[in-house]
Amino acid sequence: MKTGVICTEHCYLHSGPGEDPERNRNGVEDEIFAGWAVRTLDENAVNGWIRVETHYGYEGYIPERAVCCCDEEELKRRQDKERFFRIGIGEADLLSEPKVQGLPLELMIKGSLVERLEKDLEDGWVRVRTAAGREGYTRSWYLEERRDNDRYFLDTKAEDPHKKRFFAYQEAILNGDEEAIRNAVIQSAERYLGTQYRWGGKSSQGLDCSGLVFMSYLEQGILLHRDVGMPEEYPMHEITEEELKKGDVIFFPGHVTIYMGEGRYIHSTAHIGDGCVTVNSLDPANERYRKDLEGKITGYGSIF
């Protein structure tokens, strides 16, 4: 098995290989951003599609052209948080010059990883290199610290079939300021308010319900299961309604939301009239109450 990084703007993970790299009738399962690491699971591609595993343990098929080879030493180098950063705004241009009149060279989506080559340039510009190898300029405040990492591929214990050893490192984060983490999860989700619903997406261009939950936690360094559910090897576990606090999640049939406290929850919904990330209420007297979800809660989950 080989490791690599996504070198296209982003790509979608499919449940199976398609007839060609440009079209795939198999379902979209996930979205992977530029600079994110993957591990190939098959030696050979099928019709230009290769089966991979993400750094959070999710499997599927992506176009082979979307992956650039990256050996283990390079992957270790990419863990340097003084050099590699996450794009923290919805979309950012990579420009040919450190000025707004620069030619756009590449679009960098929120969540993508870039290497900072020079900082403290005039007017807050920084020079960066994208996963595609392009070098250019962007604003320093567009970059945020990456809080997750690729330990899944670097830890020799990652072959544990239940991945429990890999996810154990997150316990240090959970032993921090619980209230701060809960608030940060909600704040991350709120930054996506108004973003359109997109099946399988988890970017500022569009995301689904579990994509919103995944990204809101990933931005705090917590890796969750990508789908609606709580596999035991991942850090989220079931709680009771009485234990529910802000930052925890509420499950409905095929749907998941983040509880905000005071009976409110934030979610990405395809519901007619919304079709985006929005806030609703559990209170029947509230105008944002979803009558169609009444009595359909299937469970509650927490990382604490």
Residue 158 has what pLDDT?
Answer: 57
Q: Are 269 and 226 in contact (CB under 8 A)?
A: no
Residues 205-227: pLDDT tens digits?
999 999 999 999 999 988 888 88
Q: Which CATH superfamily is domain 1-147 in?
A: SH3 Domains (2.30.30.40)
Instruction: Please tell me the distance from the alpha carbon of residue 38 to that of residue 52, in angstroms, as a whole number.
Output: 6
Q: Which CATH superfamily is domain 155-302 in?
A: endopeptidase domain like (from Nostoc punctiforme) (3.90.1720.10)
- Specify the range with the lowest mean pLDDT, choosing from 23-27, 70-74, 191-195: 23-27
Contacts of 30 (CB under 8 A, 6+ apart): 12, 13, 54, 58, 60, 200, 202, 211, 226
Parts of the chain belonging to CATH 3.90.1720.10? 155-302
pTM: 0.92
Parts of the chain belonging to CATH 2.30.30.40? 1-147
Residues 273-303: pLDDT tens digits?
899 999 999 999 999 999 999 999 999 999 9
Neighbours of 201 (CB within 10 A): 22
Residues 249-281: pLDDT tens digits?
999 999 999 999 999 999 999 999 899 999 999
The SS3 of residue 41 is: coil
Mean pLDDT of the 18-33 span:
83
Task: Catalogue the active-site residues.
Answer: 209, 255, 267
Note the residue count of the chain: 304
